Structure 1
């Protein structure tokens, strides 16, 4: 049986490969991009390794999500637009009366 960290590292390598296949991340072209990919792979391993502390795992999970999932900006923009439209309509009604 493999140690937890080895299994987590293996999982992280497979996850990076899948992310590349699905176009979630690109093949690194520069040394800086290679370092970023290694950091992401390490963070995935930390999330997966049950032996690490909870705080470390949460920080790593946050890092992974921030680089792999788009933040829900669209929802905020829709809410702001809806609020702006509402206020504009309200001001227009007030002006018309």
Structure 2
């Protein structure tokens, strides 16, 4: 995934879509003041959308296709990008919220 932004969520080497989205909303007001922030947020949105296209049922992803996972139970088909595969509707909703927020003008 080129030109995307991967943000670790805590001390585990994975990115949870819901957590990363919700914590990113606070940065939208800072876009005009911090140089390069627009590019970073844009990269995060690209990463989220790419992850959803890889596996819409997964909620956490690896930085690369390294086949690491929280656990592999064999009950679901997890690809090498997927860290955890638990469908969470809010993961998709929060990721879509990033798209909506990036299109809005910052409040001054």
Q: TM-score range with shorter-chain normalisation?
A: under 0.3
Higher helix share: 1
Relative contact order, higher structure (CA 8 A, sep 6+): 2
- CA radius of gyration, larger in: 1
Higher strand share: 2
